[in-house]
Structure 1
């Protein structure tokens, strides 16, 4: 039996991996910011004992702990979402190859994990944005935009997968025997 993997499935998995790379870079950026604000820094920011950004006089400007917590939560949810999307794609290919209906349950569970992760990720993004505000800028702003781009990648991946499933159900695509 020959199994043809459609380009939409391949694109969905590739977009998930792009989203994961963006998320890893964003998390590393926030991690670097967390470490660097705990040590002596030169220029505008200087040493501050808490997870805060301080001005050159040591006065706390903004506590970035809520943003870091939101980023960490977003990272976990992103990994869940990406894993669920990959499980959906692989599970569907296996189901089509084996005609095993029980695999459909796994695909359904993966889809809902993906959906729930995306909704919770949006909440984390908004918490991050409104808790930190505009004054921080710099690395945290870059990290924020990278996380949003990662979330867009996960959404696009799910959309590609759903388009593929709809076309398959309508009979546009078939697995060749």
Structure 2
């Protein structure tokens, strides 16, 4: 007996190609508001394109300073307070990034000055830390994403993909 397993589209993702978030997810994960005890907003973390599993693993131990799961559970005002606290406790000029899909917050030491004006900060971070980092532009990159995915549409699509993928496969010996 041989068994062939087929994954429906969207059920899994390759390590090199993380799933793209929706516009709604990006807005929800990056939303911040001025904390009640403050008059000015904290400088928000720089949004970055989703990291692959390997990239997240490479950065997690040393650079992740706040988990996306915890971040997503905060109000926009609480997020402001968290970022304000992180900036106060770290070296001035530290670079804070947020993965727009997971909400994970990463911290990097300030980059040394450079004479090379051809390299962006993201390119310099990528070279310094060995992980490709692409800054997410909240104007141009956001509009390229789907607006939202309703759970009923998504689950129906997954059921249809699974039905199609398993058609003709018999589990009988």
**TM-score (ref. length: structure 2):** 0.29
Decide which structure has greater strand share: 2
**TM-score (ref. length: structure 1):** 0.29
